[in-house]
Amino acid sequence: MRKKTGPAAALLLAAALTLSACSSGDGDSGSGDAASAVTDLSGRDQSGAGTALDQPYTKPDLVLTDTKGKKFDLREQTKGKPTLLFFGYTNCPDVCPLTMSNIAIAEKSLPKADQDKLQVVFVTTDPERDTPAELARWLPSAGDSSFIGLSGDFPTIQAGARQVGIGIDPAKKEKDDTVVSMHGAQVVAFSPKTDKGYVLYGESTSSDDFAKDLPKLVRGEKP
């Protein structure tokens, strides 16, 4: 566990973790457009360990659409539950599926009762392509069928990400037809006791790192 930090420092930390680039080398998997590629510019935290926050984040006020096409109020529907929140997109070539996979692997190390308590929420940063149906198709293969996938309008998603210090930009098509997406790659852990985001994980966090921390996160303790 890295040293504790307050909100202002956490915002600076998140801002510093938004500019690593990678490319999928293929097209939009949702539309089947093989002519375009996706480039992901996302956070990079070389420590791999969580950062405990002295003054935790308030859970974002986000009301979006889940994979069943129903309204999902993040605050209300995860209230009192241990929650991991991640912003990403399905066309991401590595960071997003790897993060979901690492969490899924770690979750399976928990007792069944604790697995049922843990809420893993994936909010798309590319809602134009990541429809509820696309999220429903992608999440079970990238992570686990129990994960919650949310889509909606981009301004709402962007505002929600900013509430936890995560920067995201609209997907942008370049002159060579590649689609560029920029997003922070941090996972925010929210306590079931306070509903506050009190631990921040970077993209290099491994499945072993998550597995080590999850038992305490489920109980609302600092790992």
pTM metric for this prediction: 0.81
pLDDT of residue 23: 34
Residues 194-209 as b/e (b if ≥16 CB within 10 A, e otherwise) read ebbbbbbbbbbbebeb
Q: Tens of pLDDT along the chain (223 residues)? A: 554 555 444 444 444 444 333 333 344 433 333 222 232 333 333 344 799 999 999 999 999 999 999 999 999 999 999 999 999 999 888 899 999 999 999 999 999 999 999 999 999 999 999 999 999 999 999 999 999 999 999 999 999 999 999 999 988 877 777 777 789 999 999 999 999 999 999 989 999 999 999 999 999 999 9
Cα angle 94-28-157, degrees, rounded to a multiple of 5: 75
Structure tokens at 192: 């079931």
| pLDDT score for 1 | 54
Q: What is the pLDDT of residues 53-82, one digit of tens each?
A: 999 999 999 999 999 999 999 999 999 999
Rounded Cα gap, residues 39 and 91, in angstroms:
9
Q: Backbone phi, then psi, for 81, in 5-degree steps? A: -120, 140
